[in-house]
A and B are shown apart, each in its own frame.
Chain A
Amino acid sequence: MRKRICLAITMGLVLPIILIAPVSASSYQPPHQLPGPAADRLLFKAFDVDRAPLDMEAGKLDLYIFSLKTAAAEKLRVDPRFELYSAPATTLSLVLNPSPDPNGLNPFSLPEVRWAMQYLVDREFIARDIYRGMALPMVSHVSPRDYDFLTIYDMDRGSGIVYDPEYARDMISRAMIDAGAGLEEGIWHFQGEPIRIRFIGRVEDERREIADLVRSELEKAGFMVAISYRPFAAATITVYATDPQAFEWHIYTEGWGRIAPQRYDFATVNQMNAPWLGNMPGWLEAGFWQYTHEELDELGKKLYRGEFSSYEERNRIYRRMSELGLEESVRIWLATVVNSYPAQKNVQGITRDLVAGPRSPLTFREIHVSDAGEVTIGHLWVWTERTTWNPVGGLGDIYSVDIWRQLHDPPLWNHPFTGIPQPFRATFQVETAGPDDTLTVPADAVTWNTDTKRWEEVGTGVEAISRVVFDYTLYFQSNWHHGEPINMADVVYSIAQGYELAYDPDKSRIEMSVAVTSRPYLDTFRGYRILDENRIEVYVDFWHFHEDYIASYASPAGLSMPWEILAAMDEVVFGQRRAAYSDTAATRFNVPWLSLVMDRDCRLVLRTLREFMGRDVIPENIFQVNGSSLVSEKEAMERYQSALEWFERHGNLVISNGPFFLSAYDPPAQYAELRAFREENYPYRPGEWYYGDPPAMFIDAVMIPELVPGEEGEFSGIVEGPGRLGVYYLFVDPVTDEVLQAGETESDPVSGRFQVPLDGEFTAQLFPGLYRLYLVAYSDEVALISEYRAEVEVVP
């Protein structure tokens, strides 16, 4: 057998950036072993995105966590003084207007034309040239960096979709002629009129060039294209606020931000394909023509509600939806654009989170620059007019969140490489009876009754699908930033506050958006039980085949702020009506949008705390659970006092429990300063949360023999990487693009060797020639895949 030399085409040109030579965690040297973060101070400062590269060269900042523009990123990528970190940011698509034209012919109302569009766009060009390699081509709504890529791998790679304008034009031709159009002087005419396509292209970024690219293809295919370059507002109005049948647009360049991709996605696939979510042409606006697809809606809702009983079933639904979406081709997917974040070469401690890049809180607690105890972080802004710090209805923009994340420790956090929730500062134990069965909720479990304002036992006869026990030992062993202990009272207050916001009639009228969005969620909780001073048990109606997701859903409290701050804020917002949690309530009642970094708002809260102190007030009944009180009057007074003292020292009321605390916040100077919280009992020390770079994974030493029809054959190779590895393969007919065989195999845990036998029955159907073979390596320890493409020769 002759070994064929095959090309290894690693996915895109970007993986080399992401999968850099493995830096194992052990080679990272934390600078010290004091409790808390690696750096002593983090300085956040605003730098304009165009100047940031220059400022970085001048040494004015160490890490920039706003994405550089393509040209600047490219320049820094090759500069040895800097390191470029990336994270997938935006996905790009073309949305086609599929509505039928009662007075003419809309080419995109023909499914064949839409399908042809898939072949008319040159995705490689977009990724390689327009985005200079900082983008990954996409064929379906799933990008190669999405967790579900493997789920639909064969559909994507086996779709046969490549840039083939001739083939596309052919298909278009046949469809147009069938529909009654004719080609005159190279332009499609219908009933004597030339067919005009209105192209809305966004102008603010590279989408403009994409629009030009696609437009020229459309023109070559015989369409008259009227292109309109519009900025955000104008484009949005035209596309999303008009009836598709008004034909103010036929095709539009969309861009989607990736907020928090799910390991087991159920929202995005619906959003991009199923009409019921209101994101397909028609937009579910009254009076507009609507794109409909019954099967997609049915499957979509099922997937969304979690109405499946196993991982396999879920995948089946997901695959079918993706398949339909691809067939319908109402959205033509182009690429996933990658954000680029530069850092000085000497910055250490950065974890390359697959979703957030270097912006994960895991990075900031480990980041440091050689010996200096200070790290300067640059962002586009530190403060904007919409930046409001309150944990209930604020902290909505990235400028506040990117700082806030370093100030508090969440109970759970997603693993940077697999995306699966894992315990962070809380540990958990899940027990579930789902999907079909239920557990009994103990009679002495409680929920908060907003009418009686008490914790009331649920009594007998209450059932729940799952039960999760959360252990907060790592929290309670240490204190809040202001020195007061973290204890169960904080958890309990937080839960009660949630119920109050959702169900109390007055409060929910005042803070409507908060209420409406949290009610459906709280409806699924059945009861809580405090097991001991560290543990609480939660009963919830939720099931997922992956238990960690049940824990993530059921986490009752974020434990981000001490209860006295929450209580004082509640009093200011609902009692005194002098501030609001959300922006809409602030506007409606003409009060400030409560922000704990603003002097004036803090003073409102402080005054309330003083009143509490003066009148010996503790929030009524919240701390009375099962007959005992969690907070004594003395403790409460001490806590109020500590909060007051904190403000005196630092000028803000952002008191939390994370590795850093907020020591300065200066909006006009666009500056924020975070100082290390070094308390003896803080559970983490530098190095503990460092993940560094995701482990590399690749397929090697692939041996593919020539195949003879009718005879057995086998191909094999070695896969290297972390954890349990598997290899998925596709055998594709190059002519028909049909996937002839697909399957999986595991590799030998020691040698990494895998082999795939092909039996005679299968090879008998092959003809002499070249066939395509796709190999994909995957691991349970990292959510990336590694692709390997090869050609197989079949000889007679």
Chain B
Amino acid sequence: MVRGITMVLVLIAVQFLLVISLGITGLSDRMLEAVIGEELRALRPSLAETIRDPDELEYALRVRREELQTSYGLDRPWYHRLPEMVSRVFTLDLGEAHTLRSFTGSNRVADIVLERLPNTMLLLTTSLIFTAGIGIAVGVRLASKVGSLSDRIVSYFSAVSYAMPAWWVGILFILLFSFRFPIFPSGGMYGTPPPPAGLFRFLDLLHHAFLPIITLVLASAGPYIYVVRTMTLDVAQADHVTVARAKGLTEKVVSRRHILRVAAPPIVTGLVLGLAGSLGGSILVETVFNWQGMGRLYYEAVVGTPDEMVIVALTFMFTLIYVIARMILEVLYVILDPRVRYQ
């Protein structure tokens, strides 16, 4: 109950901070003005071709400027504009993007997100599932064999994998499996020409997803294995594990019930939070592979043309996802670890 309230407070606090950082600092206003300024600067010479009266030209530019300002919401101060956006998202109305559009031309943020989310999920959530699977399977095995040769080999690999940035691995893979050995496409989501809607289109998408997924798995599997190994190591050294073995239980049972099950809470925490986070996409990997996912969306909203509604909506969405993930974890924790149950 208390936790629930805390989470809602978190939601509110994050939005508040966002409004402050965008509004009070004047950052948002100035960036939008800068964008408007640039557009006008580019407009001037092309208008000059048809408007030969300097005063008319200035008038036309002035009107355009005002129009743009209204359109960006700059005719109202930030403390009207931003809080209104925030209160909209709290009613789960994600609003309209100013400049960003979905593939079908809709500017409703909900539409844009719904379009991009599956792309991101295909890449990140899938690779997270693979990573987690590999991580748990290998990590638990290693925890039982601490110090052995396989443990050492995998630990070195983990360190290397942790050090390799995903985007770099991605570029490497593209060079290798796309150019050197033309097996996989070098980027994008569909080929040229793209298959029309249907099974083939989906298969084409999978074909294009292969390299990014492998990149992500490779770059994160290592550290994940190592983390699981460390988490289970503690448990693996525990007395009850020795007892379990002495009891004559098979190694499989020991591993599953007495090691993994006990180490489950932190592993599950990492997994659930990771899943929640994966919905936010990965800017770098999506850029390297030319995928239009959530990471790029956020990036475009912030850096491209500052699109306040999208920033507010996405921030809210990500925070909400995190909050929901935490709540799920609360429930899971109680199920997994009886020690934290209240009387």
Is the C-beta of B200 less than 8 angstroms from some C-beta in chain A? no
Partner of B71, one of A46, A386, A583, A666: A583
Q: Please determine whether B187 and A51 come into contact, CB atoms closer than 8 angstroms.
A: yes
Q: Which residues of chain B are near A45, meaning CB under 8 Å?
A: 188, 192
Is the C-beta of B239 less than 8 angstroms from some C-beta in chain A? no
Tell me whether A46 and B188 are in contact in the complex, defined as CB-CB below 8 angstroms, given that A584-B67, A668-B292 are known contacts: yes
Tell me whether A520 and B53 are in contact in the complex, defined as CB-CB below 8 angstroms, given that A51-B187, A259-B46 are known contacts: yes
Q: Considering the complex, which residues of chain B in the window 166-190 have a beta carbon less than 8 Å from any beta carbon of chain A?
A: 174-175, 178-179, 182, 186-190
Partner of A587, one of B31, B54, B71: B71
Q: Please determine whether B37 and A236 come into contact, CB atoms closer than 8 angstroms.
A: yes
Q: Please determine whether B60 and A669 come into contact, CB atoms closer than 8 angstroms.
A: no
In angstroms, Cα B260 to Cα A217, docked, is 65
In angstroms, Cα B16 to Cα A710, docked, is 85
Interface residues of chain A: helix, strand, loop or mixed (majority): mixed
Q: Which residues of chain B are near A516, meaning CB under 8 Å?
A: 59-60, 63-64
Across chains A and B, the number of contacting residue pairs, with CB separation under 8 Å, is 168
Is the C-beta of A558 less than 8 angstroms from some C-beta in chain B? no
In angstroms, Cα B41 to Cα A220, docked, is 34
Partner of A668, one of B30, B34, B53, B103: B103
Q: Which residues of chain B are near A664, meaning CB under 8 Å?
A: 193
Tell me how far the C-beta of A377 lies from the nearest C-beta in chain B, rounded to whole angstroms: 11
Residue on B nearest A673 in the bound complex, by CB: B193
Residue on B nearest A235 in the bound complex, by CB: B34
Chain B CB within 10 Å, residue with most, of A236, A517, A671: A517
Q: Please determine whether A669 and B190 come into contact, CB atoms closer than 8 angstroms.
A: yes
Is the C-beta of A376 less than 8 angstroms from some C-beta in chain B? yes
Q: Which residues of chain B are near A46, meaning CB under 8 Å?
A: 188, 290
Of B92-100, B249-257, B263-271, the one contacting chain A is: B92-100
Is the C-beta of A28 less than 8 angstroms from some C-beta in chain B? no
Partner of B105, one of A278, A517, A587, A593: A593
Q: Considering the complex, which residues of chain A in the window 222-245 have a beta carbon less than 8 Å from any beta carbon of chain B?
A: 232-233, 236-237, 240-241
As a 0/1 sequence over residues 82 to 126 of chain B, the CB contacts with chain A under 8 angstroms (1 = contact) are 000000000000001111110111110000000100000000000
Tell me how far the C-beta of B32 lies from the nearest C-beta in chain A, rounded to whole angstroms: 9
Of A181-189, A597-605, A775-783, the one contacting chain B is: A597-605
Q: Which residues of chain B are near A271, meaning CB under 8 Å?
A: 44-45
Q: Please determine whether B186 and A584 come into contact, CB atoms closer than 8 angstroms.
A: no
Q: Please determine whether B106 and A233 come into contact, CB atoms closer than 8 angstroms.
A: no
Partner of B107, one of A276, A518, A584, A593: A593
**Range of interface residues on A (Cβ < 8 Å):** 35 or more
Q: Please determine whether B192 and A43 come into contact, CB atoms closer than 8 angstroms.
A: yes
Is the C-beta of B50 less than 8 angstroms from some C-beta in chain A? yes
In angstroms, Cα B37 to Cα A593, docked, is 22
Q: Please determine whether A241 and B46 come into contact, CB atoms closer than 8 angstroms.
A: no
Is the C-beta of A58 less than 8 angstroms from some C-beta in chain B? yes
Q: Please determine whether B41 and A517 come into contact, CB atoms closer than 8 angstroms.
A: no
Is the C-beta of B47 less than 8 angstroms from some C-beta in chain A? yes
Q: Which residues of chain A are near B292, meaning CB under 8 Å?
A: 668
Q: Which residues of chain B are near A276, meaning CB under 8 Å?
A: 54
Partner of B63, one of A385, A512, A668: A512
Q: Considering the complex, which residues of chain A in the window 274-324 have a beta carbon less than 8 Å from any beta carbon of chain B?
A: 276-279, 301, 304-306
Q: Considering the complex, which residues of chain B in the window 9-63 have a beta carbon less than 8 Å from any beta carbon of chain A?
A: 30-31, 33-35, 37-38, 41-42, 44-54, 56-60, 63
Of A16-24, A137-145, A260-268, A725-733, the one contacting chain B is: A260-268
In angstroms, Cα B287 to Cα A51, docked, is 12
Tell me how far the C-beta of A630 lies from the nearest C-beta in chain B, rounded to whole angstroms: 26
In angstroms, Cα B178 to Cα A60, docked, is 11
Q: Which residues of chain A are near B58, meaning CB under 8 Å?
A: 278
Q: Which residues of chain A are near B96, meaning CB under 8 Å?
A: 587, 590
Is the C-beta of A499 less than 8 angstroms from some C-beta in chain B? no
In angstroms, Cα B48 to Cα A305, docked, is 10
In angstroms, Cα B51 to Cα A277, docked, is 13
Residue on B nearest A541 in the bound complex, by CB: B52
Tell me how far the C-beta of B227 lies from the nearest C-beta in chain A, rounded to whole angstroms: 33
Tell me whether A54 and B175 are in contact in the complex, defined as CB-CB below 8 angstroms, given that A237-B31, A241-B33, A595-B105 are known contacts: yes
As a 0/1 sequence over residues 579 to 613 of chain A, the CB contacts with chain B under 8 angstroms (1 = contact) are 00001101110101101001111000000000000
Q: Which residues of chain B are near A599, meaning CB under 8 Å?
A: 104-105
Tell me how far the C-beta of B120 lies from the nearest C-beta in chain A, rounded to whole angstroms: 13
Is the C-beta of B68 less than 8 angstroms from some C-beta in chain A? yes
Q: Which residues of chain A are near B60, meaning CB under 8 Å?
A: 516-517, 519-520
Q: Please determine whether A305 and B52 come into contact, CB atoms closer than 8 angstroms.
A: yes
Partner of B104, one of A305, A588, A598: A598
Q: Which residues of chain A are near B189, meaning CB under 8 Å?
A: 668-670
Q: Which residues of chain A are near B105, meaning CB under 8 Å?
A: 388, 592-593, 595, 598-601
Residue on A nearest B30 in the bound complex, by CB: A237
Is the C-beta of B77 less than 8 angstroms from some C-beta in chain A? no
In angstroms, Cα B195 to Cα A673, docked, is 12
In angstroms, Cα B171 to Cα A51, docked, is 9
7 example contacts (A-B, Cβ-Cβ < 8 A) are as follows A58-B182, A233-B34, A266-B48, A304-B52, A584-B67, A669-B189, A670-B290
In order of increasing CB-CB distance, the 3 nearest A-B pairs are: A598-B105, A669-B190, A669-B194
Apart from A516-B64, A666-B194, list 9 A-B contacts with CB within 8 A.
A58-B186, A277-B44, A388-B105, A517-B47, A583-B99, A587-B98, A664-B193, A669-B189, A670-B189
